[in-house]
Amino acid sequence: MEKACIYQVTNSLMDLMMSYVIRTKNGKIIVIDGGYLGEDITFFMDILKEASGSDTPVIDAWFLTHMHQDHMTAVAMLMERFGKDVTVKKMYFNFPDRKFMSRVEGGNSYYVYDPFEKAYDSIFGPGSLHAANAKTCFAGDKIVLDDNCVMDVLLVMCPEQTENNINDTSSVFRLTIDGQTILFLGDSYVNAGQRLLDKYGKELKSDIVQMAHHGQSGVRLDVYEAIAPKMCLWPTPTWVYDNRNGNLQTLEVRSWIHDMGIEYNTVTGVHGTVCYSLPIDFDKIDKYDVAVPTANS
């Protein structure tokens, strides 16, 4: 029996992306999103090989939050380059249809939708994405992945609230592994956050949370207060984390997390790709404060 673990992954350029690879104690491999791999596609394959202990990794379950390049182009890129060496058993997502995507994203939608459809159909057979209506999971689904390892689908897109925002079509997943909970918010924005609060309230409580929309905007403070995590996962490059553009909300969100007293944080732009044994023993990992430096610090 192996030790379960979770990788928070970034590429060699530490681009804006979201990618998690999880190994269960019985060696099952789970991927959340996968991210934007850039030119360095081999690094993601290397993570899969390391996690699985095989040169021909099997991904038992691949969960996708929403149709943005920085979250899901890994699917198409991996299958195009390494499709003969990788097996994907199941994929879980709930996406808008092409009409919705083209209305909201315009021509850019085809750069995401077309490659994904090609990759998905190469795995599951011609016409599979169309036959599924781009939806393979629904709110309330409970997916048993391994012994003491379950993924709950808490939220999927709500078309009447997401007419102009693909981020708010994010599916929200919560993994429970050996009693520890990890909440994946994807790029959930204010509307999705409010829907979560309305539906679950204090039941959102989770041990670990992936920061919504890379910790930049995303859900409001009251959602994080309901989640009340002990640890935050930040899929956040340095330029976003430090608000180098000057027009991002990251510094405010960092202040929220600091003021909530959350001492355990891992940030891709600071720490790169990291791997933690699951369930995480907080007495055995380093603390990291996301407080915003002041002029006197």
> Which pLDDT value is given to residue 22?
99
pLDDT at residue number 163 = 60
Instruction: Please give the CATH number for the structural domain made up of 5-277.
Output: 3.60.15.10
* Per-residue pLDDT tens digits for 219-278: 999 999 999 999 999 999 999 999 998 899 999 999 999 999 999 999 999 999 999 999
Measured at the CA of 91, the angle between CA 86 and CA 93, to 5 degrees, comes to 145
For the question of whether the overall pTM of this predicted structure is more than 0.85, the answer is: yes
Per-residue confidence (pLDDT) for residue 122, from 0 to 100: 96
Cα 152 → chain centroid: 14
Neighbours of 281 (CB within 10 A): 10
| Contact in structure between 161 and 195 (CB atoms under 8 Å) | yes
Residue numbers of the chain with a pLDDT score lower than 70: 1, 39, 107-108, 161-164, 295-297
Q: What is the pLDDT of residue 82?
A: 95
